[in-house]
């Protein structure tokens, strides 16, 4: 986009009114700019049923959440913080360092396997650490490097029904798959923007034997078989609302706040993704501080939260799918939402 700056240009009241109108249209369409069928998208606001903070051991830079039948696990700087499901702080795992049980900096992805072991991505130590129920490190895997089984900047982690382990790597721009014991098996995707291409992948989810990857750098969700065969990309989350939006730029001769917002509507930073028990895919649209819901490969709803979120990241459902937990990173808290309240909006018909 060419930007022209006119020295001390006088703006007519008509132009100011027109620009205000355009900005208003943009604001109203901001949430639905990621959907090709905007007339079918439901927009609503949900109030958090619970807010979890940590006064005993305050949050610093939370990233992911994982849930068992008893506990909520939250990844943070150098630690994993553990709460009961009522939000009471219990303990923390880890401290700064490079030996087993320690973390170099951020703990990123978290996952639980069928043996109730907790897997944690120790990004700057380029490894995954596995804890048993007694908080002991029972194994680690991964080293720094670009070869199979090595990591550069590991991010997300997911465990499937067979306890196979999927680890996304932001710098490698791929997903590596490991056995339950941490032995390298194969990789999924490659660096790029075409079919099966990935840029800065992070969150993952499995549903109906399909692997969904938040392809953050390409502003889309990629779908593969568990063995890595490319299937599809979910709808272009970076598309503009309409040609009228694009042509409206002609009426603004210099860089304004509109230009910045316009540029951001072309993108969409997709963060945590998770499926509910009805086959609907939830994901965080970080640029819009909203949660969007996909059904049958189409965005059907988008909602904001009360209180609002800022740079939210991880998202996970409780084991019984009655609660949705969101890591509100920018506000250093966990928001808990009632799924039944969400369903009241999206299941009206």
Mean pLDDT of 106-119: 97
What confidence tens digit (pLDDT) does each residue in 212-257 have? 999 999 999 999 999 999 999 986 554 333 333 343 334 433 344 4
Instruction: Tell me how far apart the alpha carbons of residues 177 and 164 are, in angstroms, rounded to a whole number.
Output: 7
* Residue 263 pLDDT exceeds 90: no
Q: How far is CA 183 from CA 48, 160, 177, in A?
A: 40, 15, 9
Weakest-pLDDT range from 66-75, 84-93, 243-252, 286-295: 243-252
Residue 121 in tokens = 């991505």
Mean pLDDT of 78-98: 97
pTM: predicted TM-score of the whole model, two decimal places: 0.82
- Going by pLDDT thresholds of 50, 70 and 90, the confidence category of residue 268 is low
Residue 34 in tokens = 């990621």
Pairing status of strand 298-306 against strand 42-47 = parallel
| Residue 334 neighbours by CB distance under 10 Å | 24
| Residue 164 neighbours by CB distance under 10 Å | 16
Instruction: Tell me how far apart the alpha carbons of residues 121 and 134 are, in angstroms, rounded to a whole number.
Output: 19
Q: Which residues contact 249 (CB under 8 A, 6 or more apart)?
A: 1, 258, 259, 262
Picking from 46, 79, 49, the residue whose alpha carbon sits closest to that of residue 62 is 79
* Residue 29 pLDDT exceeds 80: no
Is 37-237+266-346 in CATH node 3.30.2270.10?
no
Higher pLDDT, residue 239 or 64: 64
User: Residues 175, 181: contact at Cβ < 8 Å?
Assistant: no
* Residue 117 pLDDT exceeds 70: yes
**The pLDDT value given to residue 269:** 80
**The pLDDT value given to residue 254:** 38
98-127 burial, b if ≥16 CB within 10 A, otherwise e? eeeebbeebbbbbbbbeeebbbbbbbebbb
Picking from 227, 220, 154, 161, the residue whose alpha carbon sits closest to that of residue 189 is 227
């Amino acid at each position: 986009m060419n930007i022209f700056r006119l020295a001390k240009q006088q703006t007519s009241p008509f132009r100011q009114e027109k620009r205000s109108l355009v900005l208003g249209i943009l604001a109203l369409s901001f949430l639905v700019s990621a959907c090709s069928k905007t007339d079918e998208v439901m927009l609503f606001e949900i109030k958090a049923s619970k807010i979890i903070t940590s006064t005993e051991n305050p949050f610093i830079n939370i990233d992911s959440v994982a849930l068992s039948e008893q506990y909520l696990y939250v990844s943070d700087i150098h630690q994993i913080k553990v709460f009961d499901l009522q939000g009471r702080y219990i303990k923390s795992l880890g401290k700064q360092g490079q030996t087993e049980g320690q973390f170099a900096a951020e703990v990123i992805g978290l996952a639980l396997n069928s043996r109730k072991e907790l897997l944690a991505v120790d990004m700057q130590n380029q490894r995954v650490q596995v804890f048993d129920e007694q908080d002991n490190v029972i194994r680690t895997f991964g080293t720094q490097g670009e070869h199979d089984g090595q990591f550069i900047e590991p991010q997300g982690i997911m465990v499937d029904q067979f306890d196979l382990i999927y680890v996304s790597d932001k710098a490698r721009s791929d997903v590596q798959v490991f056995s339950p014991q941490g032995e390298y098996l194969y990789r999924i995707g490659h660096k790029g923007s075409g079919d099966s291409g990935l840029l800065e992948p992070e969150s993952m989810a499995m549903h109906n034997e399909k692997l969904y990857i938040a392809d953050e750098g390409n502003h889309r969700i990629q779908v593969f078989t568990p063995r890595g065969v490319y299937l599809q990309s979910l709808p272009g989350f970076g598309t503009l609302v309409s040609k009228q939006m694009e042509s409206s730029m002609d009426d603004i001769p210099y860089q304004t706040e509109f230009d910045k917002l316009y540029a951001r509507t072309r993108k969409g930073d997709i963060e945590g993704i998770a499926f509910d028990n009805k086959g609907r895919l939830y994901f965080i649209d970080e640029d819009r501080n909203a949660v969007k819901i996909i059904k049958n490969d189409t965005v059907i709803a988008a909602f904001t939260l009360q209180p609002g979120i800022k740079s939210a990241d991880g998202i996970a459902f409780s084991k019984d799918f009655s609660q949705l937990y969101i890591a509100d990173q920018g506000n250093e808290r966990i928001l808990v939402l009632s799924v039944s309240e969400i369903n009241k909006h999206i299941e009206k018909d």
